[in-house]
Structure 1
Amino acid sequence: MIYSFGAKNYFSFKDGFQVSLEFNSKVPKNISNSRKVSPILGIKGANASGKTHILKALKFISSFIVSSFKDDIDEEISIKGFFNSTKPTEFYIDFDTNGVRYTYELSVTTKEVIREALYKKISRKTPLLERKKNTITYRVAELESLDLITLKSNSSIIDTALQYSIKNISDDFKAIHSYFTQTRGNTSALGLVDDATIYDYKKVSEYYFKSPKSFELMKKIIFNSDLGIKDILIHKTKDSNGDTSYFPVFHHDNNITELDSNWLTYWEESDGTTALFRRMYQYWSTLESGGILLMDEFDTNYHPALLPQILDLFMNTETNPKNAQFLFTSHNLEIMDFLGKYRTYLVAKEDGESYCYRLDEIPGDIIRNDRPISGLYRDGKLGGVPKI
């Protein structure tokens, strides 16, 4: 699980940001549920305030760790500094996987890695390795196999090491690589990606066909959304080439007596229904395997009453046994009342520079656990609202 992460000189964050999902001793037990880290985090703010950049930073860190190895040593690294600054962009992430806590640090330009470091917390924070440009300046004895590899200026040391398929490569590297491979959603290192292009409805249908439990839970969410849908079936068929494909049909409750008239195909359904059908795949696959789900504009096409139901899936240990985490941006105001001050970040911008803060960092007692937050935000008392 992610404890915290941050970036500096990244898009509109000149002096940087730090986002913490860690609960402190002041967090009420009914919110923490005895967890040390929150499984959900909402990010709010005005349009163009920099909300999406926070998700992009986390996606970049994940992607760089697991999939940055390139054959082309001249291929640029996909980052952007504050107003195209040529100074290095800095990242860090503090996380836990398989019961072991790590800190990963990276300083990088579009041309090269300036510094990369990995720490492991045993009784205290202990350095495992440090790299400056293409030279390993420190490593523990257990990582001596790294001496056999050639570093590339545009690739992470973890992904590079695993590309060499060295037999005695560190178990730490394998665990970290496996963890960040499970980062998914509609956010790329460069921005929002239409989830319809990421998850084809046929692929989603196949997943539901082969995972009856997830299929039943998905149907329950859709039925509770008051879309007029009473049943969903996944059909399995073969095309002229003998290839198997899957597709859904949706049964509606109406006054038409002809049975076939009650069924609609995927393409006949509303955008809201098809979006929910696709995105529930992302939620369930994340909950099943663990990892990180990043959703920009989480509430698009959703009725506000549906949002808490989805968040509950991540908060409930029965539906989230592997401690998956869900980070999202949203324009919905009422969701702040559901999240509360310990799970909500506000992003604001002044003179072109973004900054962010968790609501419990606001001094004083303006925000109380037993009172709604949305009204305070709407009245501009918390910041992070558009100037209209």
Structure 2
Amino acid sequence: MLVSFWMENFKSFRDRVEISLIANGADRTFPSAVIPAKTSTGGEIGLLPAVAFYGPNASGKTNLLMGIDYLKAAIAFSQPVWKPASGTYLDPNVVCPETPSTFEINVLLDGVRFRYGFEVHPSHFSREWLFSYPKGRERELFQRITHRLDDTFDTSAEIGSNLTGERRDHLSSLRRTRENSLFLSSLAQDNQDEASKVYKYVRGWNTAIDRPQKNFSEMTSFLSFRINTFKELTLSLLKLADPSIQDIEISEIEDNAKSAYGRAIDNKHYKASFITGVAGNRYGMPFENQSRGIKKLYTLCADVVWGLQMGQLVVVDEIETSMHPHISARLISLFQDSSTNPKNAQLIFATHETRLLSLKHLRRDQIWFVDKQDGLSTVYSLLEFSPRKDENFELGYLTGRYGSIPTKGLDPQWYETIKQVINESEIDEQPA
């Protein structure tokens, strides 16, 4: 499970920002929204199954989620997929271009906490580290350093004695580690135990950020076609939005139509038709003819349902888009209840839906805000304002008690300015 994540110098975030999924032990509200995770020391740590991020448009919410997505992509793809001359796919539009971007996670896997992170430039990874805490004390597993020497790179590593396996195998993995790939990924490719645990866990994250809707709808169709229980769960979620949907029919797309449906999955393409019952009659309606809300919900199932079934982290931007607030709340509640989340999946999402700011849906330690001042984004928790248990969080947010509202930096004369521009307009006719 994810314990914490921090990053520095990524997109609109110059300074270090950290999010914690450790539950506030003093908060006794909504106890079902705390996962009691066992540790290797015999103790227990309360972790949150969901956290929400609020803030105005362009504050940096998506950038924060994209930071999580980048860390996942670097771990999952840098060694097996990225080409040697491709660089690190890091967005060069950062606040401090001469300074590396830094990412770090703390995760709890089989009761053991791991701390893993890296520093990255557009051309290479300059530092990388992995530590474990099997008995509560820090153990170094490795630290990797890559120096740039003009047009060449020199990579070395300090390999700790606690990294299981043969040292010669670790050195072989290091030799295969390119400047634009991660040592963790190389070790995992060679089945090194600790690295493989972290690699497999992060690779399984579902980060639905800035990707084509058609690819996600096809992934949902693919999973529904292959796994009957996945189809049943997807259908039950769709019925929340439209009770008339009775079934989902999945079929392969003809060769001459495949190009219109995004990339292939296992070299095959799938499409969905929803069987709807109206006045005793049944008829099929293809995915393309559904409402935006049904489309959004269906595409989310590729991540939400799979995440719940596999106990994975799910990251969703603008979870409320095109959906009724009750549907968004139901999706979140699936993660908050151990009966529907027995494998301890976690959800990180950004939203503008203020009706979710209630103890009926979220604890105080699950609510975070993203704000931007002078072009720089920051992140902070609702807990920093010491809110009362009976406080109206929605009202407090909308009235600016917690900051992070879109009108805070607005010119007070904006209305008069707009009115003046409209009245002085000299456009006499509609454009063709």
| Equivalent runs, 1:247-326 vs 2, <5 Å | 247-252=271-276, 254=278, 259=281, 262-326=283-347
* Number of aligned positions between the proteins: 370
| Alpha-carbon contact 2:24-2:365 (below 8 Å) kept | no
Alignment match of 2:61 (pick from 51, 59, 64): 51
1:189-228 map, 5 Å = 192-197=210-215, 199-201=216-218, 203-225=219-241, 227=242
Q: Does the 8 Å CA contact 1:8/1:14 hold for their aligned counterparts?
A: yes
Alpha-carbon contact 2:221-2:271 (below 8 Å) kept? yes
1:356 equivalent in alignment to 2:371: no
1:155 corresponds to which of 171, 176, 181: 181
Q: Assess if the C-alpha contact under 8 Å between 1:340 and 1:369 holds in 2.
A: no
Separation (CA, whole Å) in 1 of partners of 2:112 and 2:157: 23
Determine if contact 1:81/1:88 at 8 Å carries over to the other structure: no
Whichever residue aligns with residue 146 of structure 1, its letter is: H
TM score, norm. by length of structure 2:
0.79
Name the structure 2 match of 1:60: 70
The alpha carbon displacement at 1:253 in A equals: 5.1
How far did 1:30 drift?
2.7
Is residue 95 of structure 2 the alignment partner of residue 83 of structure 1?
Answer: yes
What is the DSSP-based 3-state SS (H/G/I as helix, E as strand, rest coil) of the residue aligned with 2:354?
A: coil
TM-score by length of 1: 0.87
Q: Output the CA distance in 2 between the equivalents of 1:240 and 1:12.
A: 43
Counterpart selection for 1:229 from 244, 250, 261: 244
Alpha-carbon distance, 1:354 to partner: 0.9
Separation of aligned partners in 2, 1:299 and 1:71 = 34
- Asked if 2 retains the 8 angstrom alpha-carbon contact of 1:115 and 1:131, the reply is yes
Q: Distance in 2 between matches of 1:110 and 1:235?
A: 42
User: What are the Cα deviations for residues 297-329 of structure 1, in whole angstroms up to 9, with x where unaligned?
Assistant: 111111111111101111122222221111111
Tell me the distance in 1 between the aligned counterparts of 2:29 and 2:357.
19
Q: In the TM superposition, what is the alpha-carbon distance from 1:369 to its structure 2 partner?
A: 2.4
- Structure 1 equivalent of residue 14 of structure 2: 14
Measure, in 1, the Cα distance between the counterparts of 2:400 and 2:253.
Answer: 57
Q: Which letter maps to 1:369?
A: K
Deviations 1:107-153 (A, max 9, x none): 12112222111000122121111111111034225351211231311
Shift of 1:265: 2.4
Alignment partner of 1:378 is 2:378: no
Q: Which moved more, 1:68-77 or 1:14-23?
A: 68-77
Q: Where do 5+ consecutive residues of structure 2 fail to align?
A: 37-45, 147-154, 257-266, 411-432
Q: Which letter does structure 2 place at the counterpart of 1:384? A: S
Classify 1:209/1:347 alpha carbon distance in 2 versus 1 (closer, same or farther; 3 Å). Answer: same
1:105 maps to 2:117:
yes
1:179 equivalent to 2:201? Answer yes
Alignment deviations for residues 339-374 of structure 1 (CA, whole Å, 9 cap, x no partner):
232101101111111111111122x4xx22233311
Instruction: Name the residue aligned to 1:170.
Output: 192
**1:114-129 to 2 correspondences below 5 Å:** 114-123=126-135, 124-129=137-142
Q: CA deviation at 1:204?
A: 2.1
In 2, the alpha carbon distance for the partners of 1:196 and 1:71 equals 24
Residues 139-177 of structure 1: per-residue CA shift (max 9 Å, x gap): 2253512112313111100112344x3xxx421111111
Q: Provide Cα deviations, 1:218-275, integer angstroms capped at 9, x if missing partner.
A: 32332232x362412325579699x9875443344545x8x36x44222222222122
**Residue pair 1:95, 1:103 contacting (<8 A) in 2 also:** yes
